Amino acid sequence: MQSVHQIIRYSIKNATFYLLVVIVLIMFSCRTTRHISTEKVRIMGAGRLYTLVTENYLPYNSISIKFYVNIKFDDVERSISGTLRIRKDSLIWISITPALGIEMARIQFTPDSIMFMNKLKDEYFKKSYDYFDNKFQTDLSFNDLQAIFSNEIFLYSETDEEHNEKINADNKEKGFFRKTFIPSTDSNMYVLKTHRKHKIKKYIKKNKTTDLIVETLHITPDIFKISKVAINDYGEKRTLNIQYFDFIDVNSKAMPSKINIDINTAEKHLTTEIKYNKITVNSDVSFPFKIPDKYKRID
C-alpha cells in the first residue's frame, strides 16, 4: 500500500489540479454559528454584489491555522493534519504532519515562486507559477490561492470569451467585476457567472469549447459570503467545485468552518473534506523555510 508521502508526492507531480488541493487547507474558526436565510432573493447588480462581498472579507495581516483534512484520490483515502500560515499579499506557508506529530513536508508560496521541501527524503524543488501552468494547466496565481484560502472572490480564467478579449484576472476594481460577471439568482442564493446560459449553449452547439472556461459564484444573502465556487473548463474536460459550510463568527466576520472540494478530470477524481482545529488572526508567527545543505534539488 502506498504511504501518505507517496500519495502526496505523486499527486503534486502528476494530478491535474492537485496543487490546488494540497494547498487549500484553510478556513477560519470560532464558536458562534451563522444561520443562513432560506427566503428567495431578488436579482442584484454585479457591482453591488461585489461591494457587499468585499465589505465582508475578514481583515487580516497574518493567519495561522491548524487543520485536519481527509483526501480521497481515486481508490485511495488518506487523512493528514498540519499548519497553514499566511502573511497577506506576500507569503503562504504550509507544514504537513501526517501522523505522530512528525513533519513530512513544507510548502511555501510567494508571489513569484513555489517551493516544496520533502523532509522524509531530504529533497526540495523551487518552481515558478509558469512551470505549473504549463505542466499541469492550473492557471493559479498567488493572488488566486490567497483568495481561495480567505473565502474571497477570484477569477480563474484570463480570457473573457463573452467579450473576446484578454483580461487581468487580478483586477479588483468594482467596474471590472461588473463587466466580467453576470448576476442572477438561484432560489435563496445570489449568483455571479462569467457567461450567460445561451452563450454557453451556443459554444457547445458550434463545438467551440476549446478555450471555454465558465466560473460561477454562489453568494449567501444576509452575510454576503461565497458559499460555492464552480469552475468548468470545457476545453480540458475538468471541473473544480469548492463548497463552504457552517459559517461562524471570526473577529465579527462570517467565515466557513468546513470546506468540501471536488475535482474531476478526464482521468482522475479527487475529493477533500477540511476541518479546522485552531485559528489565530494577526499573531506574531514565523514562516521558517531554510533548506539544509544536505538536501538535493530535484526537477
**Residue 43 falls inside a structural domain:** yes
C-alpha grid cell for residue 36?
A: 443562513
**Residue 298 falls inside a structural domain:** no
C-alpha grid cell for residue 132?
A: 505549473
**Residue 112 falls inside a structural domain:** yes
**Residue 84, domain CATH:** 2.50.20.10
Domain total of the chain: 1
The neighbour count for residue 127, using CB atoms within 10 Å, is 13
What is the spatial distance between Cα 268 and Cα 73, in angstroms, rounded to a whole number?
8
Q: For residue 142, what pLDDT band results from cuts at 50, 70 and 90?
A: very high
C-alpha distances (whole Å) from 94 to each of 91, 100, 178, 228, 297 are 10, 17, 34, 24, 19
> What range does the domain containing 259 cover?
4-287
**Residue 278 falls inside a structural domain:** yes
For residue 160, the model assigns a pLDDT of 53
Helices (H), 45-141: 46-55, 129-136
Mean pLDDT, range 223-235, rounded to an integer: 92
**Residue 31 falls inside a structural domain:** yes
What is the spatial distance between Cα 288 and Cα 50, in angstroms, rounded to a whole number?
36
**Residue 18 falls inside a structural domain:** yes
| Three-state secondary-structure class, residue 243 | strand
**Residue 294 falls inside a structural domain:** no
| Three-state secondary-structure class, residue 72 | strand
Q: What is the pLDDT of residues 6-47, one digit of tens each?
A: 444 444 444 334 444 444 433 333 344 555 556 788 999 999
Q: Between these two residues, 66 and 228, which has the higher pLDDT value?
A: 228
Range among 15-29, 140-154, 160-174 rated most confident: 140-154
Q: What is the pLDDT of residues 91-113, one digit of tens each?
A: 999 999 876 778 999 999 999 99
Q: What is the pLDDT of residues 36-72, one digit of tens each?
A: 556 788 999 999 999 999 999 999 999 988 888 899 9
Instruction: Return all residues near 177 (Cβ < 8 A) that are at least 6 apart.
Output: 46, 47, 50, 153, 192
**Residue 297 falls inside a structural domain:** no
For residue 126, the model assigns a pLDDT of 94
Where is average pLDDT lowest: 3-7, 199-203, 221-225, 289-293?
A: 3-7
For residue 10, the model assigns a pLDDT of 45
Q: What is the pTM of this model?
A: 0.78
Residue 230's closest CA among 219, 214, 244, 209? 214
What is the spatial distance between Cα 139 and Cα 243, in angstroms, rounded to a whole number?
20
